[in-house]
Amino acid sequence: RERLITQRECDDSLLEKRRQPDLRQGEILMQMGSISRSNRDFALELQMQTKFFEPFAWPDGRYQLNETVHYDGPQVVMPSSPAALIYEGVTRYMTESRILHDIRTYEDACLVAADDHTLSYQAKQLDPSCGPLLELLDGNSTFEEAVLASRMPSEAAARLLYTLACAGLVLFRPE
């Protein structure tokens, strides 16, 4: 996608991978001189983002982390908070109607801020205009009421509230 290598280099590296199945393609490309270590790390980060954000595109289904799988390959750090990563996935793949569909289970519940001192900081990093919305997280407003009263565009307010709920920063309390 990023065109760091030519099709020929890709084909040659895949051929070499068949000969040396224990090596990863990035390592082979580095041995061939086709990419640098930083190019490999960049490509791994893009690959990880694609894999990470892909479940947000699923119309239904669940993601389950398998903690028993051990990985000892190169480590790539995504330089974002959990809320920022969720927000990115929601922004890339979820429409307002999908968010409202997913949240309908809690339509009668009131929103309350989690006991997390980073809530305001994380929310304002995602959308600096969210102050009025955060004030509504007092246990008296439903999702829909908060979106309407937030003074933000409804899609932006829905996306932010959904993200904060997924990150455990906003909780749903039955009325």
pLDDT tens column, 53-88: 888 888 876 666 677 888 787 676 767 888 898 999
For residues 121 and 139, the answer to whether their CB atoms sit within 8 Å is no
**136-169 b/e (C-beta count within 10 Å ≥ 16 → b):** bbeeebbbbebbeebebeebbbbbbbbbbbbbeb
pLDDT at residue number 73: 74
pLDDT-derived band at 111 (thresholds 50, 70, 90) equals very high
Give the model's pLDDT for residue 76. Answer: 67
Q: Are 152 and 160 in contact (CB under 8 A)?
A: yes
Reported as half-sphere exposure (CB side, CA atoms, 13 A), residue 125 has a value of 16
Query: What predicted TM-score, i.e. pTM, was given to this entire model?
Result: 0.73
